Structure 1
Amino acid sequence: MVLKLHGVSFSTCTRTVAVVAKELNVPYELVNVDFAKGEHKSPAFTAVQPFGQVPYIDDDGFKLFESRAIARYLAKKYAGQGTKLIPTDPKEEAIFEQGVSIESSNFYPSAIGFGIEKVFKPMRGLTPDEARAEEHLKTLASKLDAYDVLLGKQKYVGGNEITLADLFHLSYGQLLVQAGQADLFESRPNVARWWKEISTRPSWLAVKDAA
């Protein structure tokens, strides 16, 4: 049975799962969830995903939500094919976990905060809070200064091989670029090198516009 990915083709979290599947050479079927009709809040959907958010997967009856959890599950289940996305050496795995924590604590909060104000609110016809958006950018710039130091010592955020820690940056990084903030990456040499490498991977190019 082909993995079923219940989500929205343009959603950041759906594309996070999609890029991981592509890296692992795992075929999937996108089952579109119609937000306009409120399908994500329907009893059938919330019976699986009680928060009414996308995506979730159905892997031959095994259902799982939260994109990072799904990514880890796929990386471990299909560890013998495609790209190795979670190290097994204890020290390398510890550095990988450090990288995952860096993304969730130092990149994601400001990236999604900016995205909410400058991308998602306008999509819903709401007025963005410009001061809040600017504060998120200021915070993110400071965090990326630290990224530049880290990436001067190792090739990727999670070590010297690409891992989930890097792929987790792609969807919201792309959102920042599309919102005119490419300089956040390009103005820092080590970050620029890293971002160019991960954002031009065939797996991401295949799903960056639609999962």
Structure 2
Amino acid sequence: MNTKFPTNATPIKLYRNVKSGHCHRVELLMSFLGLPYEAIEVDMANGAHKKPEFVANSPFGQVPVIDDNGTKLADSNAILTYLIHAYSDEHQWLPNDPVKAAKVQQWLSVSAGQIASGPAAARLVPVFGAQLDWDKAKAIANDLFKVMDAHLSNSDYLIGDDITIADVSAYSYVAHAPEGGVSLTPYPAIQNWLERIEARQGFVAMPESAIPA
């Protein structure tokens, strides 16, 4: 671990919902990097995320948001990129190599696409009571997991042998897919990938929610 966080700086404020995988991916990277942070729960049940003072920093009224000594950012994948550029000298997280950097971006797009509409959406139904097409979300998740499992059968991480922010971005909703009714049993390579991430120094888990019967 090699970070450039000033020893006398105020901890980064992370405005979050503890059950949100988007928030967890930011918390996970900060923990991996050893960055001091303060987690602040946003009272979303009472609409705190839609109040003008919150929307001023997150125009779509979404968590997470960070406040890094006055630098305020929303969007989890954007925050991951910022944290690496601001505080890490370890290029494994976001490679300089143009091909590897492009592949990281591909998987960040998957996180914002198939993961969001698949396992993340499926989990919203039982965990948050969202009115979504549960069967469609589970089908998207399984289609995605078939591709991911084949890919990870030949690679320790999503981009070769080293962990990157692509893995951090993808981890939370894949690991918690069973909470959305999507079993990981058919996907041994994905399970091995999750275990590798969880075994790393600094790993912090997202609390589990009730798994539907």
- Tell me the TM-score normalised to structure 1 length: 0.82
> Following TM superposition, by how much is the alpha carbon of 1:16 offset from its aligned partner in structure 2, in angstroms?
1.4
Corresponding residue number in structure 2 for 1:196: 195
Kindly provide the amino acid, as one letter, of the partner of residue 206 in structure 2. K
The SS at the match of 2:122 is helix
- Equivalent-residue separation in structure 2 for 1:87 and 1:4 (angstroms): 26
Corresponding residue number in structure 1 for 2:102: 94
Match of residue 82, structure 2, among 73, 88, 94 = 73
The SS at the match of 1:50 is coil
- Contact map agreement 2:126 2:179 (CA 8 A) in 1: no
**Deviation digits for residues 53-102 of structure 1, max 9, x if unmatched?**
11211111111111110111001111226x84111122222222233233
1:35 matched to 2:33 = no
> Following TM superposition, by how much is the alpha carbon of 1:118 offset from its aligned partner in structure 2, in angstroms?
2.6
CA distance 1:179–1:141, change in 2 (3 Å): closer
Same amino acid, percent of matched pairs: 30
1:208 matched to 2:206 = yes
1:61 matched to 2:60 = no
- Tell me the TM-score normalised to structure 2 length: 0.82
Task: Let me know the Cα RMSD of the aligned residues.
Answer: 2.3
> Following TM superposition, by how much is the alpha carbon of 1:179 offset from its aligned partner in structure 2, in angstroms?
4.2
Corresponding residue number in structure 1 for 2:123: 115
Corresponding residue number in structure 2 for 1:13: 22
The SS at the match of 1:5 is strand
Corresponding residue number in structure 2 for 1:134: 135
CA distance 1:113–1:10, change in 2 (3 Å): closer
Corresponding residue number in structure 2 for 1:154: 155
- Equivalent-residue separation in structure 2 for 1:189 and 1:175 (angstroms): 15
> Following TM superposition, by how much is the alpha carbon of 1:43 offset from its aligned partner in structure 2, in angstroms?
1.9
5+ long unaligned stretches in structure 1: none
**Deviation digits for residues 183-209 of structure 1, max 9, x if unmatched?**
33x3223222112222444534x2412
> Following TM superposition, by how much is the alpha carbon of 1:14 offset from its aligned partner in structure 2, in angstroms?
1.6
- Equivalent-residue separation in structure 2 for 1:35 and 1:103 (angstroms): 23
Corresponding residue number in structure 2 for 1:145: 146
- Equivalent-residue separation in structure 1 for 2:78 and 2:46 (angstroms): 27
Kindly provide the amino acid, as one letter, of the partner of residue 189 in structure 1. P
Corresponding residue number in structure 2 for 1:50: 59
The SS at the match of 1:73 is helix
